[in-house]
Structure 1
Amino acid sequence: MAPTVAELRAHGIRVLESARVPTPEADAELLLAHVLGLTRGQVQAKAVTGGVVGADERLAFVEALERRAAREPLQHITGVAPFRSLELAVGPGVFVPRPETEFVAQLAIDALQATAVPQPVAVDLGTGSGAIALALATEVPHARVTAVENSPRAFIWAKQNARTVDADNLRLVFADLADAVPELDGTVDVVVSNPPYIPDDAIPRDPEVRLHDPAVALYGGPDGLDIVRALSQRALRLLREGGALVIEHGELQGAELRALLEADGWRATATHRDLLGRDRATTAARGPRT
């Protein structure tokens, strides 16, 4: 007798709970949705109404469940990661965008929308999958957005997502953030970045991060701020006077990052808390050019 959606859902939850996956119910439902070609809501409805699952779909679900129980990221199994209004392709070699980075994107979007020019300019340094840059390009369609990435593997994912989203106001550039897009120096309104900021000896506890996110997207030197130092200097050259800088960082790095930026000459530094009340991003404004 074919198993029901409810039976497979319950089995999935038990397996993921035993593997100590943080969100077993959500992940079991999302894996079922992926295998069955449904939304999570449709899976929940079929679990109530008694829908059954064919043999091929059951096998695919069991295989996906085994991968998730081994702590492979859910997004690597389904191949997609939601980010604001977007659904991005992700996989090995690229950092999986997190919900907290949606808050960072919002700060950059707000800064772009507050710019009193017809076609504001934004640069996303270290774009990874393209998440922040694509959010800016689609939510502020009158802006011109440049996304910079220096990892060949991540750049492939960014190109795929750019093709899928098809935002004609987005430009992808393969370059190191320390010297990228010099032709934009002094013309940019917003620079945003989610750089590597984990200290080298602070190994993440979660296997999904430790084993699957690329190290170049995680670790930022002994104090985690080596890339931020280069980012600060590059942003100073890119931004026009009064332009805004938005940087994501760890919850304990706000004060140190503000001090770093102020020493470089940035003005109006401020650290912002995400929806969980944790320090998540620091913003600053570029002062007059000397």
Structure 2
Amino acid sequence: MHGHEIRTRLRTALAETTRRLGEAGVPSPSVDARALIAHAAGTEQPLVMLDELPQGFTQRLEQLTVRRERREPLQLILGRAPFRRLMLDVEPGVFIPRPETELALDLLREHTTGPLTEVVDLCAGSGALGAAVLDEIPGARVLAVEIDPAAAALTRRNLDRAGPGRGRVLEADLCAEVPELAAAAPVDAVLSNPPYIPPEAVPRDAEVREHDPHRALFGGGPDGLEVPRAVLDWARRLLRPGGVLVMEHADVQGAAAREAAAVNGGFDQLSTLPDLTGRDRFLVARRAPGEAPSGSERLSR
């Protein structure tokens, strides 16, 4: 098959796939179509560079397109998701990392004074935040905590690839006592993208509603902040004086998250910072100087 013929086939495939995805309500049909075509062709390079198409390309593209038409997330179809400088493994049943969460790393660096050697990632999911720390902060070690066994296994894989030997994973429920986590104190930073959706809120996108695990979405309690409050408790116990917590929350939870941190009592600087679209998205809290974290006090409920 000549180059001209291949380009014609690709142009046709791109137009047809984009049309079908658009009709299925996919938000970015052209971008997704290109990704599916590259995946079907088994290439990482731009489509214009392709000089041959593998056997079975058309059937493979059809299978992939049908999955995306059903609003299966693109990341699950490809088996990976971009996050900062990394390409992370993702798999069904584990929360897919989001672009807005990437800002947590910048906020951490902006607000940290002193070393960033010991970092804890609470409610790790696929391990996106912890893996980015290992990738971007060469001296750091990461302890990632995740309640779900499948997610914990995925986190382990992503941490091992980002910083071999510098990350470890603890499978645990933050709403319970976890002696091994308590023993990690003192640490320099705590990062967390916990489940925080209130019980009555229904995610808008079919990709989220039908494919992200509910345990990773809904934060518990009437306001969705039960798990985030547990994150605050652990941050108070784990952080060294001056250490920083960066925790993601829903755009309507800025004031409630600050109040929960104030009630907790372990922090002396609290701020709500926006994501790249200008919506309230992150609580940044500094551990108050004073009593060092003991790791042995009871988790206040």
Common fold by TM > 0.5:
yes
Please point out which of 124, 144, 165 is paired with 1:168: 165
Which range is displaced more, 160-169 or 93-102? 160-169
Per the alignment, residue 120 of structure 2 pairs with: 123
* Contact 2:130–2:159 (8 Å) recurs in 1: no
Structure 1 CA distance for aligned equivalents of residues 95 and 106 of structure 2? 19
Deviation of the 1:99 alpha carbon: 0.4
Provide Cα deviations, 1:190-249, integer angstroms capped at 9, x if missing partner. 111000010111010101000000111000122111101111111111111111111001
* 2:96 equivalent to 1:96: yes
Q: Which one of 7, 10, 24 corresponds to residue 5 of structure 1?
A: 10
Match of 2:134 in 1: 137
Deviation for aligned residue 1:175: 1.6
Aligned to 1:277: 278
The code of the aligned residue for 2:172 comes to: A
Superposed CA deviations along residues 175-196 of structure 1, whole A, max 9, x for unmatched, are 22344411123x1111110000
C-alpha RMSD of matched pairs (Å): 1.9
- Is 1:120–1:142's contact at 8 Å kept on the other side of the alignment? yes
SS in 2 for 1:4: helix
DSSP 3-state at the match of 2:270 = strand
Query: How high is the TM-score relative to the length of structure 1?
Result: 0.91
Does the alignment pair 1:28 with 2:28?
no
Aligned residue for 1:184, secondary structure, equals coil
Deviations 1:146-193 (CA, angstroms, capped at 9, x unpaired): 1111101111211222333343221221122344411123x1111110
- After TM superposition, give the deviation of residue 256 of structure 1 in Å: 1.2
Which amino acid in structure 1 is aligned with residue 280 of structure 2?
A: D
Q: Residue type matched to 1:189 in 2?
A: D
What amino acid is aligned across from residue 261 of structure 1 in structure 2?
Answer: A
Percentage of matched positions with identical amino acids: 43
Distance in 1 separating the partners of 2:289 and 2:156: 35
Runs of at least 5 residues in structure 1 that lack an aligned partner in the other structure: none
CA contact (8 A) 1:127 1:193 kept: yes
Q: Distance in 2 between matches of 1:95 and 1:249?
A: 15
Q: Which runs of 5+ in 2 are unaligned?
A: 292-301
1:38-53 correspondence runs (5 A): 38-39=43-44, 42-43=46-47, 45=48, 53=53
Q: Deviations over 1:100-138 (max 9, x none)?
A: 010113222444xx4424x62110001111100010111
Aligned to 1:87: 87
1:122–1:188 Cα contact (<8 Å) kept: yes
State how far apart, in whole Å, the 2-side matches of 1:170 and 1:110 are.
Answer: 23
Give the equivalent residue in structure 1 for 2:193: 194
